[in-house]
Amino acid sequence: MSGKVFTVRPTVNYSYQVKKDRETEKVSLKDKIFEWGENLLLTVLAVVFLVLSVAVAYETLVYFKIKFEKRALGLEKVQLEKELNRLTSREVILEKAKTLGLRAPQEQDYIRLR
């Protein structure tokens, strides 16, 4: 092997398997039951995986929906608090009272109870 060079030529190798007829192929009952059990187990696992995936996706959707709704409600709360403070400010109330013809209470308007 030392000092020699081997060239490798590409060849096309494929193996052709002769298909056997089901009638001539003899499969034991034990193997059939085992194969059926494997297929059933794979089907059940696929269904469980699908159901769990959908459940996780739904929970994620609900989580993000609640998160965005919470953010939107927080912004709306801040806007409503600003509006409340603006509407109940002293200047706005005095202006509305003047347009309605009301006046600020005077000293004689107070009743002293003993």
- pTM here is 0.49
Could you list the residue range(s) of the whole structural domain that residue 58 is in?
29-101
* Mean pLDDT (whole number) for 6-14: 68
- Would you give the end-to-end CA distance of the chain in angstroms? 127
- Which among 16-20, 68-72, 96-100 has the top mean pLDDT? 68-72
Q: Give a yes or no: residue 22 inside a domain.
A: no
The two structure tokens encoding residue 49: 């995986």
Structural domains of the chain, count? 1
Query: Is the pLDDT higher at 80 or at 13?
Result: 80
In the chain, the percentage of residues whose pLDDT exceeds 90 is: 50
The pLDDT, as a whole number, for residue 15 is: 65
The pLDDT, as a whole number, for residue 93 is: 87
Q: Give a yes or no: residue 13 inside a domain.
A: no
